[in-house]
Amino acid sequence: MTTLTRRQLIGLVLLTLMWGLNWPIMKLSLRELPPLHFRALTMGLGALALAAYFGARGLRLWPRGAAEWRDVWVLGLPNILGWHALSIIGVSQLPAGRAAILGFTMPVWTVLLSVLFYRERLTGRLLLAVAAVLAGITLLLWNELAQLAGRPAGIAWMQGAAFAWALGTIWMRRARLTLPAESLVVWMMAWSALVLALLAAWLEPPQRWVFSAPVWVSLAWGALINYGAAQVIWFALARALPPSVSAMSVMAVPLISTLSAPLIVGEWPGWQDLAAMACVVVAIGAVLLRRD
């Protein structure tokens, strides 16, 4: 069994809280800012903050040669642009906790795509995970369709985001990278933010950039915490933590999102949300936790 140092444990707790709280905090921003404008602004500022931080630590930031630039563009398409663009639209149409539950079905789709297209072995644990995820999605879809003001399209947006993240994870694992991972993420965020800014200017109305104090705080959170500090902590932990420990952190994110949403945005979960969250936690555990 791997023993975490006190610093690693604190970092893991902080990272899980940051990722979990980010979903209702995003929802708070979307009350006054359209989703694409929000994502372009926070991601662009986050990329600048990360570039300054990693550059100050002496990390090579500039890609060299066509191969490294290709990695930036190809891997950034599903990992950053696909996931972040589709998920923010999903969050705008769903309660924050519900969106987080659907987004974190990603580990199951990662394993399933590996089985379907990369000849990995199909196991009973994967079948259990897929069944649990489908049960959770069915619960939420049924609840959305049963409500007069339900937004079932939001479920489709979030599942599209989860598929994009899953595909990007597979590509990232199989890529032979020479550019440091930190620099790769900075550049993927930078070009994705530019694309989102262009889409926002085209598809959304012009913004006055006059917001309430809570929204300014949530924008600062998105840029400096979600795209800044959380990324730094993740890179520090990713090399040191075993997959099973990382899995426990992933499983806790939807729980924190669902339970914090009433306090931040006043969205109370229904029994369908809690049941779906349990299904997704079971599914993530089935595919990520190793047997001793």
| 265-282: pLDDT as tens digits | 998 888 888 898 888 888
Q: Is the pLDDT of residue 128 over 90?
A: no
Q: Which of 3-12, 189-198, 235-244 has the lowest mean pLDDT?
A: 235-244
Structure tokens given for 265: 């945005």
Summarised one tens digit per residue, pLDDT across range 73-101 is 999 999 999 999 999 999 999 889 889 98
pLDDT band at 121 (very low <50, low <70, confident <90, very high): confident
pTM, entire model:
0.88
> Can you say how many angstroms the Cα of residue 276 is from the centroid of all Cα atoms in its chain?
18
Among the ranges 109-118, 139-148, 212-221, 233-242, which has the highest mean pLDDT value? 212-221
Structure tokens given for 104: 């974190």
pLDDT band at 1 (very low <50, low <70, confident <90, very high): very low
Summarised one tens digit per residue, pLDDT across range 150-188 is 577 888 999 999 999 889 888 888 888 899 989 999 999
Average pLDDT estimate for 108-130: 81
